[in-house]
Structure 1
Amino acid sequence: MIYPHNFEQKTEFSKVRQLITDKCLSPLGEERVAGMEFSADFTTISERLEQTEEFLRIIQGEDEFPANYFFDVRYSLKRIRPEGTWLDERELFDLKCSLQTINDIIRFFRPAEDEEIKYPALTALAGNTLVFPQLVGKIDTILDKFGKVKDNASSSLAQIRKEMTITMSGISRSLQSILRAAQSDGVVDKDVTPTMRDGRLMIPVVPAFKRKIKGIVHDESASGKTVFIEPEIVVEANNRVRELEGEEKREIIRILTEFTNTVRPMVPDILQSYEFLAEIDFIRAKALFAQQIKGIKPVLEDKQQIDWAHAMHPLLYLSLQKQGKQIVPLDIYLDEDKRILIISGPNAGGKSVCLKTAGLLQYMLQCGLLIPLHESSRTGVFANIFIDIGDEQSIENDLSTYSSHLTNMKFFVRNCNDKTILLIDEFGSGTEPQIGGAIAEALLDRFNRNHSFGVITTHYQNLKHFAEDTEGIINGAMLYDRHLMQPLFKLSIGNPGSSFAIEIARKIGLPEDVIADASAKVGSDYIDMDKYLQDIVRDKRYWESKRQNIRQREKKLEEITARYEQDLETVNKQRKEIMREAKAEAQRILSEANAKIENTIREIKEAQAEKEQTKLARKALDEFKASVQSTGEEDDKIARKMAKLKERNERKKQKQKTPVQPVFNKDVIEVGDNVRLKGQVSAGTVMELQGKQAVVAFGMIKSTVKLEQLEKVSKGQIKREVQKSTFISSQTTDEMHEKKLNFKQEIDVRGMRGDEALQAVTYFIDDAILVGVARVRILHGTGTGILRQLIRDYLHSVPGVRHFQDEHVQFGGAGITVVELE
């Protein structure tokens, strides 16, 4: 159930429907698009999605789908139901082509006996759809490839057309003879040829010479400069041609009527087959649209949930794509525990787009359309989608904007349940803020009690508080870059968002005294809360960026590790190959040595008393022996080096095996101990013990944590883990070099509030330590001295700060703090 009835206009689904309609091949598919409906049946939705996803694979694959002739001949088939009617040539040709297409599609989906079914959902859709190959074959005997009745469709037609051809040839010869004579007499020009007028061959003549050719003047040109004469010699022949044309037409009608009589009993079955063709055209159009918007078939579960990653509004995606811009995807999560999402944030920050994206994609999904989101996303099914977006003010019905909203809310409260998703924009707006916010909060409570799901946008602080304190409801914020003063169009779930009203007013140029008066009227509590919300958003973005950098570095480290392991494996293989070759070479040398010795002994024995021959043999043996020994010495050097390396490795292993005696009791946690969360790396210091909990300082952030979630670590462990985590990739080195070149050794925090200045100094000192700067300056001014004291209290707590002092009086004195870093 969808409420209100203009849901398609509100979510722009009508534009989606039109885009799909434009991709249809015939009115068959267009009618299916017009009748496309929302379904809450899980099985129906799954089948529709599976069919569309399979057709998308066909489009993206190598299989050529038969989509040549999607003709709608349903009107013609219904027209021939009365006896005596017939299909004309064009209708018959369209019938033949479309029936052949149906036949080809069925054959495409039904594989041979030894082949696997590639598209099961579409094959099941084809089911027992009838094909009519005999009918197609019969039409082929009647029509040629251009859709005209063949000469041999009947013997009578063949005889008629033969006689017509002979008669036309005779007419043509007679006209050519008359034309040549007229050209010789100068009656007509040399380039004139016979012309067909009203089905009769004639000669075009200038009006001044029309008496020169005997015949009948039938017509003249629009300008009156040419008359068309039928010579009297061919009048009778032309009359015969006209008679033959009438006979030909009657014979064609007879042939078509006879064939139509055979088709008439099959019309119901043929129309049923056209329903299949219409469905295929519809599914094809949906698949082409999915390809255009990068839609996929997500995981669909038979329950109420929204777990979407990188979801995109399809129309916004297409619009930005034309402009060469990138869309900011949406990550949104709703389940049984966190059913209703309250989105707050600045105007023009993307709240309504987020709302429409959720509504449009869910509606598209339940209409059987593939939607653009990440493959890891999980989707569910809702029985009802209730939407309240935009201004419903009506003069005719005497409804104000707020009244129309309340009318919708009345319907929502009475009909929403645990299978309903509510999409409400600017909840509670349109009337006096206090009572509007109160009514909105009461309605929100009823929605939550009914266990409904929802995405609701608002600016009201009381709804943000209510969401924070109420189970089942969660806050969300549209992020905003306070420095660039522009929205980021990114949804962050978990914390409420600030409207950035003060900042936007300053950007627009509203006078500062007006802004100050407005701030005073709402009170410091409201301003501080808004400020805290902004700080939360900023810090979350900062840590999110840090986490992303860590993930990238971890991925880079994994890639390098995998590459080194592969290189090591290659080296080991090469080493084994070299050792094998070395052993083979040694065996060969040994064999040669044995052969040389035996040969020398044999030569000595054969020479007997010939001393000179004996000396030569001994000398050759000594030379070979020396060469073998030199080779052996080289091998000995290598062996000695290998032994030294092996001995060094053994010493390293012995050192690693040496047990390290613990110097502290890890089971007892006391104030001042270094601890970390179990499973995490970052360490903090215990500031205070509160029963079974401890207050731990992780850098500048204090947090209360259960003792059972902590583990005690020594300084040595922290140092080793820091060393392990300090792998720096080449990319990071380049970034550090760039950062060092652009780093400014001075920061100006004058005019800032205390917390703003402290945050800025924190980032500045962190960056200074990171790039290795030895000395920096902080401009804080003198004033009351509070800002100076806050900054120096912070500097006392930073381990990397070696010393700080006032700048020399000539360069600013007490208004500037000079910091020396280690």
Structure 2
Amino acid sequence: MIYPDNFEYKIGFDKIRQFLTDKCLSTLGEEKVEDMAFSSDFDLIQSQLSQTEEFIRIIQEEDNFPVNHFFDVRPALKNIRVEGTWLDESAVFDLRRSLQTIRDIVSFLKKEDEENTPYPHLQELAGEVLIFPQLLTKIDAILDKYGRIKDNASSDLNRIRKEITHVSGGISRSLNAILRAAQSEGLVEKDVTPTMRDGRLVIPVAPAFKRKLKGIVHDESASGKTVFIEPAEVVEANNRIRELESEERREIVKILIAFTDEVRPLAPDIVQSYEFLAWIDFIRAKARFALDIEAIKPTVENKQQVGWDKAKHPLLYLSHKKQNKSIIPLDIWLDDENRLLIISGPNAGGKSVCLKTVGLLQYMVQCGLLIPLAESSKVGVFDKIFIDIGDEQSIENDLSTYSSHLTNMKMFVRNCDSKSLLLIDEFGGGTEPQIGGAIAESLLKRFNEKESFGVITTHYQNLKHFANEHKGVVNGAMLYDRHLMQPLFTLSIGNPGSSFAIEIARKIGLPEDVIAEASEIVGSDYINMDKYLQDIVRDRRYWETKRQSIRQKEKRLEEITSQYETDLTDVGKQRKEIIRQAKEEAQRLLSEANAKIENTIRSIKEAHAEKEKTKEVRQGLAAFKAKLESEDVQTDDKISRKIQKLQEREKNKKDKPKVAKEEKQQTISVGDSVRMKGQTSAGEVMDIQGKNAVVAFGMIKSTVKLDTLEKVSKNQIKRESQKSTFVSSQTSDMTYDKKLNFRQEIDLRGMRGDEALQAVMYFIDDAIQIGAGRVRILHGTGTGALRLLVRDYLRTVNGVKNYQDEHVQLGGSGITVVDLE
């Protein structure tokens, strides 16, 4: 439940709707924006938020999501319910392109395995959407890629169009012959060409000679200096053209009726598929808007709470962004312990903005929109939202502002509950302060008893006291800098705020005696209490700053300590490893020495040495071994000191071959394959002249400095060639899109020579790239300079097979037709 009816206007949601509407691609999405409504269904809210979040990822990570043709053909489908009606060519073309878009979107969303799809909620939305492949095939059979009926759409149409072409050719030849004869007789100027009037080919003639050329006068120029005559020789042929054109139109209608008869039974299913297209358009608009306001999908829990960190008012954020200004975010927490927040503070301190931010963001998220706040935030769901804000005085209903306020309070008290969110600005204001404050306190008590949530702004002291003395209600203050005498637009929860009335009056320049008298009237207790509130706020700000500073330093200290502990652990592991290796080496030496001594003893025995002598030798060996083992312990410290030197020595050993290898690689000789550093094109070194090298890049030789070159292997060139091929395959999609949107005619009339030439260059390049067979360049007749300039350029283009004037019936020398290879 939302109250009152103008709720969206009061919180600014009507402007949010307009932003979304502007981002839609069609009326399909715009209708969804209009139908968007507040919901308390937790599962629905989660689903809508997830759909928008997934589309944001598509925008940021995917390049091939189809968004080209969002056409609404539902009105056209509605108009063909009656037998005998038909879809015209443009409607069929829109139907074909939009159905292809639906098919591409469904294919995109279902291309991944259903269990591992990155867009599960959008894939679920695609569900069982029908894509009508057979209908697309039928449309392709009758329409070409530009949306015109194909010649072979029917045998009769093919015959009619061939006859039109034949008759038109005869008319053109006859007109040219008549025109040349008239020019030789001086009846017509040399640069005149046939033109069209009322769909018929005519010859422009000066009024003085109009009786010398037999035919029908169809029109004259606005100046009266030219009349347009249809020669008698071509009148019948032109009449035949008219008849054939009527036959052509009847045959096209016949084709369209037959096609429409096939579409009519499918119309309900097609409309259902367009419902899916509407949702995609709507979700895309929501995602685009979310990116504009830096919104996220918050943690939404199915309970009543407002736990927001760094929340921003979207409209205020966009306004500040245009002015390159920052916005002060809002931190606000309402839970079961502190449900009703009483915000006090000076006027123009941000109380109302705070209240509107809460109302707008909560309403947005329950309409399925992402909202701008920190990821640590937690969002709840409310069944009802009530708002009382602004001047509601009504002349028609004879209600004062306060009467309207009380009417709203009556509505709130009767309907609020533990799942309601109340947003009340200037609670109790608009009437005599003492009774207004008393009524406000009584209402606040009932709101608290019903365990409602809410944000309430006020200046009344008794409401601040009530918040301090009752569980479930908490004070909040909009902070104010007492020294600079300006608001900080920051909400602090826990203490009430001061109105700073005395300080503001003194800053404005109100006479001091007036301020002193006002202070006496109010009383010292009130003034002191306001002062104490200011001191509390000031001290709270000071200690909050201190606490933040200490927290940052502690965090930094923890990071440094953790880093030191990690480094010490690594050093300890290295030390133990080096000692272990050293001991293994010492043990190996001992084993070798022991083996040598044993061999000596064996030799002594074999030489029949005395037993006493052998025993002596063995004792000496044991003493030597013990001495070495004791030295192992004593040398631990020495080994520790040597660790760094050993590591450096090992590193140098590893680096030397690498450096040598790099130096070897960088030695450039004649015949080597090289490329310029940072470039991809490879060339061959033809000659070396001191610090310079002559390099052949294809057919071009260039002298470059040796230190700007690097050697490349044949395998590397091959890999890069393959990579280049891969990139080219990626660009094929772009070429396909360009081919779909390419127009085979360009109009140069009105352009300057250089501007027209550049336009033709780009046009011909695009035509060759997409493989267009024939294009038309409309330059007009005029002085003929533009025609000459275009044709001079066409002679230099390799891809141009030939070019000539257009058929006289279709524009003659004012249009150049270009055939491409």
Amino acid at match of 2:515: I
Deviation string 1:86-107 (CA, Å, 9 cap, x unpaired) is 0000011111111111111111
Alpha-carbon distance, 1:546 to partner? 1.1
Alpha-carbon distance, 1:569 to partner? 5.7
Residues 685-696 of structure 1: matches in 2 within 5 Å? none
Matched residue, 2:380: 380
Distance 2:561 2:207 in 1: 98
Distance 2:204 2:584 in 1: 103
Q: Does 1:274 align with 2:274?
A: yes
Alpha-carbon distance, 1:557 to partner? 2.5
Structure 1 residues 114 and 80: alpha-carbon distance in aligned structure 2, compared to 1, 3 A threshold: closer
Matched residue, 1:766: none
Q: Does 1:310 align with 2:272?
A: no
Contact 2:299 2:377 in 1 (8 A): yes
Contact 2:583 2:632 in 1 (8 A): no
Distance 2:641 2:132 in 1: 84
Matched residue, 1:171: 171
Distance 1:183 1:592 in 2: 120
Distance 2:301 2:430 in 1: 38
Matched residue, 2:433: 433
Matched residue, 1:485: 485
Contact 2:579 2:636 in 1 (8 A): no
- TM superposition score normalised by structure 2: 0.71
Deviation string 1:123-145 (CA, Å, 9 cap, x unpaired) is 11122121201001100111111
SS at match of 1:324: coil
Residues 135-284 of structure 1: matches in 2 within 5 Å? 135-284=135-284
Structure 1 residues 224 and 572: alpha-carbon distance in aligned structure 2, compared to 1, 3 A threshold: farther
Deviation string 1:494-521 (CA, Å, 9 cap, x unpaired) is 0000011111111111111111111111
Alpha-carbon distance, 1:639 to partner? 4.1
Matched residue, 2:125: 125
Amino acid at match of 1:426: E
Amino acid at match of 2:89: E
Deviation string 1:409-445 (CA, Å, 9 cap, x unpaired) is 1111111111111100000000000010001001111
Structure 1 residues 484 and 215: alpha-carbon distance in aligned structure 2, compared to 1, 3 A threshold: same
Amino acid at match of 2:433: P
Distance 1:459 1:191 in 2: 87
Distance 1:371 1:90 in 2: 40
Matched residue, 1:726: none
Deviation string 1:155-208 (CA, Å, 9 cap, x unpaired) is 110111011111111111222222233333333333322112211111122223
Structure 1 residues 372 and 143: alpha-carbon distance in aligned structure 2, compared to 1, 3 A threshold: same
Distance 1:342 1:47 in 2: 34
Amino acid at match of 2:203: I
Matched residue, 1:739: none
Structure 1 residues 173 and 526: alpha-carbon distance in aligned structure 2, compared to 1, 3 A threshold: same
Matched residue, 1:604: none
Deviation string 1:670-713 (CA, Å, 9 cap, x unpaired) is xxxxxxxxxxxxxxxxxxxxxxxxxxxxxxxxxxxxxxxxxxxx
Structure 1 residues 188 and 575: alpha-carbon distance in aligned structure 2, compared to 1, 3 A threshold: farther
Structure 2 stretches lacking a partner, 5+ long: 595-627, 643-821
Structure 1 stretches lacking a partner, 5+ long: 595-631, 647-822
SS at match of 2:421: strand
Matched residue, 1:642: 638
Amino acid at match of 1:324: N
Alpha-carbon distance, 1:215 to partner? 1.9
Distance 1:167 1:640 in 2: 109
Alpha-carbon distance, 1:232 to partner? 1.6
Residues 285-300 of structure 1: matches in 2 within 5 Å? 285-300=285-300
Structure 1 residues 560 and 190: alpha-carbon distance in aligned structure 2, compared to 1, 3 A threshold: farther
Residues 369-768 of structure 1: matches in 2 within 5 Å? 369-565=369-565, 567-568=567-568, 639=635, 642=638
- TM superposition score normalised by structure 1: 0.71
Distance 2:528 2:561 in 1: 49
Q: Does 1:95 align with 2:91?
A: no
Distance 2:411 2:523 in 1: 37
SS at match of 1:241: helix
Q: Does 1:333 align with 2:333?
A: yes
Number of residues of Structure 1 aligned to a counterpart in Structure 2: 610
Matched residue, 2:43: 43
Alpha-carbon distance, 1:4 to partner? 1.0
Contact 2:579 2:639 in 1 (8 A): no
Distance 1:204 1:564 in 2: 95
SS at match of 1:192: coil
Structure 1 residues 554 and 64: alpha-carbon distance in aligned structure 2, compared to 1, 3 A threshold: farther
Q: Which moved more, 1:115-124 or 1:353-362?
A: 115-124
Matched residue, 2:67: 67
Deviation string 1:565-586 (CA, Å, 9 cap, x unpaired) is 4555665677678779989999
Distance 1:487 1:458 in 2: 16
Deviation string 1:601-650 (CA, Å, 9 cap, x unpaired) is xxxxxxxxxxxxxxxxxxxxxxxxxxxxxxx9xx999949639989xxxx
Alpha-carbon distance, 1:115 to partner? 7.2
SS at match of 2:23: coil
Matched residue, 2:30: 30
Distance 1:179 1:576 in 2: 106
SS at match of 1:22: helix
Distance 2:457 2:523 in 1: 24
Deviation string 1:56-78 (CA, Å, 9 cap, x unpaired) is 22122225321111111111101
Amino acid at match of 1:38: F
Distance 2:412 2:216 in 1: 85
Deviation string 1:372-409 (CA, Å, 9 cap, x unpaired) is 11111111111111110000001111000110001111
Amino acid at match of 1:442: S
Alpha-carbon distance, 1:337 to partner? 1.5
Amino acid at match of 2:484: L
Contact 2:40 2:381 in 1 (8 A): yes
Q: Which moved more, 1:418-427 or 1:545-554?
A: 545-554
Amino acid at match of 1:532: Y
SS at match of 2:170: helix
Distance 1:466 1:450 in 2: 16
SS at match of 2:267: helix
Residues 72-91 of structure 1: matches in 2 within 5 Å? 72-91=72-91
Q: Which moved more, 1:548-557 or 1:284-293?
A: 548-557
Structure 1 residues 119 and 645: alpha-carbon distance in aligned structure 2, compared to 1, 3 A threshold: closer
Amino acid at match of 1:66: P
Structure 1 residues 590 and 176: alpha-carbon distance in aligned structure 2, compared to 1, 3 A threshold: farther
Contact 2:203 2:228 in 1 (8 A): yes
Distance 2:420 2:327 in 1: 29
Matched residue, 1:4: 4
